[in-house]
Structure 1
């Protein structure tokens, strides 16, 4: 290859990331920040050597078949890669990477915000004051669920799950977790391991989801599993919307079995689930778990590090 490799950045990433991309590559940058269609992905694959996409671009098996041989690497600006059909892309000889490690604390912060906010009626309270309708107070007014000392269940004790557990220990929470493999004792820090999700759910006054979306975890929190949670439990999801059966969650909220939910991700994104809006005990954010300046810079630089390594003849650090 002569000259700089041509790189397509599909969304408007952080300023520092875009400056570096423009400096080191023949960069095509989507400053308008609009979504790319399937046809765009196919057409651009014939014009560039590398793509830095976000979770919003979906590289399905069908799309993978149509990608031009010129495209050599997809360096995702995300940890999750459920938007990429990895076997299909590998079959086309396309390298795929992600950005682990750098967004764990930012996402864990949002999980903590959602847990506290949903437990203590943040959405309802904010609406009441903001609308000018706060005209009453009593000891029984907006009584919520206390986080300090409560039992916390974590599904998925990877980087984000562990970061969330560290923060939850500051609230003296009794931490329980399920993971595909048990952590070594020095990483558990006293947390109780459960060999099954079902065993964990029975102990979880608060449940926080931190596992990837896979065929095995899609619909993980269905009606049967939600029913295993203690009455009055709170559900938090900052991982992927596909983990939760949204109809089942609505039914559990409406019955009162689930006291509240804090959600940063939804089955349909952008947009979310309009049916959730009728329930002030569902505290919602628009998938902003990693949205801090420091983390966005780190994610963009990690993606570029992987592209740099590939075109330097080295194995990218985050090769999938």
Structure 2
């Protein structure tokens, strides 16, 4: 029998057809609806490999159900939806898709910053709704981006690439990261500062940090209160790094000037969420890496990782590098 791969969301046939002759492949047939929990558990029981989405909870129950499971390939850089310890304990490789989405996500992040600062979404709707009756000096006046200070929280590959974009706008670049990046400082003139200093000095605070125990609720009411009243907060990392109630209050009270959000604590966000009622919020449906070219490259990398593991080779981008240790016991 051919090894069995289950994919938790419908992917283009041209992407998966390359492996059709060597594997039995099944997909959840909906593009915009998550696979039901019971179906996921049932598929895990017979699968040799799972190709998962960030919205799938691959917890210990799913992993224990997968008695034949050898690899989980997550269609994302992040992997906080997967119980990494349980996967490692069961000798299952967990793979992600770093690097291939760096430029695309940096483009979206900087685009979100620009849209929020210059009120582009609000202005486009203003025209479409027939509200544009005349020109006036401060009609939908936003905030300049050029020559301002950008503070990047989380200077990984995406953070570095956003910083490169900022050099084209002659911005002062501050960053805070678990580890200092001297090579980035030298290459683009970025300045390493404490988290508190970054928050106080920056005109634009861009969050690109991964979700960990340390970063959960990193942005609290006290943090927003420390920002400039003209500051704009951008989050393109993970929703739970922000206390959303504190962010809502800061925006309502004009503690900060605006927010551009590609991620939320609970996704998809409800249409009646109070954040969506505010004119100084630009909200996107978690599309950081969503270009046709990049998403197809991510899918291909997931399938390549699966193929490598199922043919007895090392995957290209493995997260739990000690997964093989359990196989020898």
TM-score range, shorter chain: over 0.9
CA contact (8 A) 1:221 1:244 kept: yes
Aligned to 1:80: 78
Q: Is the counterpart of residue 205 in structure 1 residue 203 in structure 2?
A: yes
Aligned to 1:240: 238
CA contact (8 A) 1:150 1:205 kept: yes
Report how far residue 57 of structure 1 moved: 0.7
1:29 to 15, 27, 30: 27
Aligned to 1:147: 145
Map 1:139-218; keep pairs closer than 5 Å: 139-186=137-184, 188=186, 189-194=188-193, 196-218=194-216
TM-score by length of 2: 0.92
Aligned to 2:17: 19
TM-score by length of 1: 0.94
1:74 match: secondary structure: strand
Change (3 A) 1:221 1:15: farther
1:215 match: secondary structure: coil
Change (3 A) 1:202 1:295: same
Equivalent pairs, count:
316
In structure 2, distance between residues paired with 1:42 and 1:29? 14
In structure 1, distance between residues paired with 2:270 and 2:78? 19
In structure 1, distance between residues paired with 2:35 and 2:199? 39
RMSD over equivalenced CA pairs, Å:
1.6
CA contact (8 A) 2:59 2:81 kept: yes
Report how far residue 187 of structure 1 moved: 5.8
1:260 to 241, 258, 261: 258
Unaligned runs of 5+ in 2: 320-329
Change (3 A) 1:222 1:70: same
CA distances 1:16-60 after superposition (whole Å, capped 9, x unpaired): 422234344211022323312332222111221101001011112
1:9 to 3, 7, 10: 7
2:175 match: secondary structure: strand
Deviates more, 1:23-32 or 1:252-261: 23-32
1:96 match: secondary structure: strand
In structure 2, distance between residues paired with 1:79 and 1:21? 23
Unaligned runs of 5+ in 1: none
CA contact (8 A) 1:204 1:230 kept: yes
In structure 1, distance between residues paired with 2:184 and 2:288? 27
Report how far residue 135 of structure 1 moved: 1.5
Change (3 A) 1:263 1:70: same
Aligned to 2:46: 47
CA contact (8 A) 2:8 2:40 kept: no
Change (3 A) 1:227 1:85: same
In structure 1, distance between residues paired with 2:246 and 2:230? 15
2:150 match: secondary structure: strand
Aligned to 2:294: 295
Aligned to 1:97: 95
In structure 2, distance between residues paired with 1:261 and 1:159? 23
Change (3 A) 1:151 1:15: farther
